[in-house]
Amino acid sequence: MRNESLKNWQVHFFSYIMNIEQSFLSKAISMNELSVRSCADIYRRGYSARLIESLGDTYSATWWVLGDDDFLKLANEFVGNIPSRSFDLSDYGEEFSNFLKSSPVIAEIPFVSDLASFEWNFKMLFHSKDVPAVENIFNLIGSNPDVKIRLLPSTVLWQSGFAIYEIWKRRESNVASLNEIDLDMRESILCRKLDGKVHMSYLEESEFRMLKQFETPRSIEEAVVNYQNLFGELTPESIQSLFSRIGILGVLGT
C-alpha cells in the first residue's frame, strides 16, 4: 500500500484505539510473530489504562467508597464514552460526577456523585495559584462603599446534602468507618488554598449564602440586597455580625 495519507493513518489509528472501527488493521504491519490486532491492542489497552489511572488518581475517595469492582467497571464505561480533550491527563474526568449521577450505583450510594464532585474541586484547588489572605477587607473599603468585592480565586464554596467532607477525610481508613458518621448531615464548607495547602472550614448557612454572593464581584450593598431577595430580610445587627464573621476569613478581595 502506498500514499496512505498521514491524516488517514492518524484518524484510523485513533478510531481503533477508541474502539470505534477497525479499518486501521489493514494499514499496519505487526511485530515479531504477533498479529496486527494484538499489536494495535497494545495501544488500545494503554489508552484505556492511562485514563482509568487518571480517574483513580483524581477520585481516590470515590474509588474507596465504590470498591475496586464497581469503580473499575464504571471508570471503564466512562472512558469508553468520554474521550480526553486535553494534553494534560489530569484534566480528564470532570464529567465523572455527572456520569455517576446517571448510573445505577447512585441508588445504592446516593452521595457518590457529590463525593466525586468534591474530589474534582479539591484537585483544581490543589493546583491553583496560592493567593494570600486579605485582612479586614471591609475596613479597607470603608471610604468607598461602592467598590466591588469578590471571592478570591483560590477559594471554592462547597455545599452538599451529605457529609461529604467527613466521608472524604476517612478515605484512608476502613470503609466500615463510614458507619460512624451521619451520612445525611448537610454541610457548607469553605475550601481554600493557602500556603501551598488546601484547607477546609465549616460555614454557617448564612455565611455560606453571603459568601456565595461574592462569587460574582459585587458591592456590599448589592450583595445584601441580593441576599435579602433570595433568603429574606436581615436586621442591621445581623448584617454587621455576618460581615464581621466572613471578613475575618480573609477570602474576599477587590
Partner 1 sequence: MNQKSTMIGVGLRPSHYPELEVNSETKVDWFEAISENYMNTEGRPLKMLLHVRKTYPVALHGVGLSIGSHDGVSEVYLKKLKTLADRVDPVIVSDHFCWSSIGGHYSHDLLPFPFQSEALENICKNVEKVQDFLGRQICLENISYYIKSKSDEMSESHFINEVCRRTGCGLLLDLNNVDVNAKNHGFHAFEFIKELDFNNVKQIHLAGPSQEEGFVFDTHSTPVPESVWTLYRQFTDIKKKVPVIIEWDENIPSFDVLEGEVLKARHIVTNLEAHP
* Contacts with partner 1, residue ranges (CB under 8 A): 1-7, 9-11, 13-14, 17-18, 27-34, 36, 38-40, 42-43, 46-47, 50-51, 83-91, 126-130, 196
Least Å distance, CB 120 to partner 1, is 14
Least Å distance, CB 21 to partner 1, is 14
The sign of the CA dihedral 178, 184, 186, 191 is positive
Instruction: Name the residue nearer to partner 1 (CB basis): 196 or 236.
Output: 196
Pick the closest to residue 181 from 115, 253, 129, 232 (CA basis): 115
Instruction: Name the residue nearer to partner 1 (CB basis): 20 or 248.
Output: 20
Least Å distance, CB 73 to partner 1, is 21
Residue 27 burial (CB < 10 Å; 0-12/13-18/19+)? middle
Instruction: Name the residue nearer to partner 1 (CB basis): 5 or 102.
Output: 5
Instruction: Name the residue nearer to partner 1 (CB basis): 86 or 143.
Output: 86
Whether the CB-CB separation of 66 and 58 falls below 8 Å is answered with no
Instruction: Name the residue nearer to partner 1 (CB basis): 50 or 171.
Output: 50
C-alpha distance from residue 32 to each of 29, 41, 118, 164 (Å): 10, 15, 47, 52
Least Å distance, CB 8 to partner 1, is 9
**Hey, what's the cell of 172?**
484512608
Whether the CB-CB separation of 27 and 4 falls below 8 Å is answered with yes
Task: For strands 150-151 and 155-160, give the pairing.
Answer: unpaired
CB atoms within 10 A of CB 220: 21
Least Å distance, CB 93 to partner 1, is 12
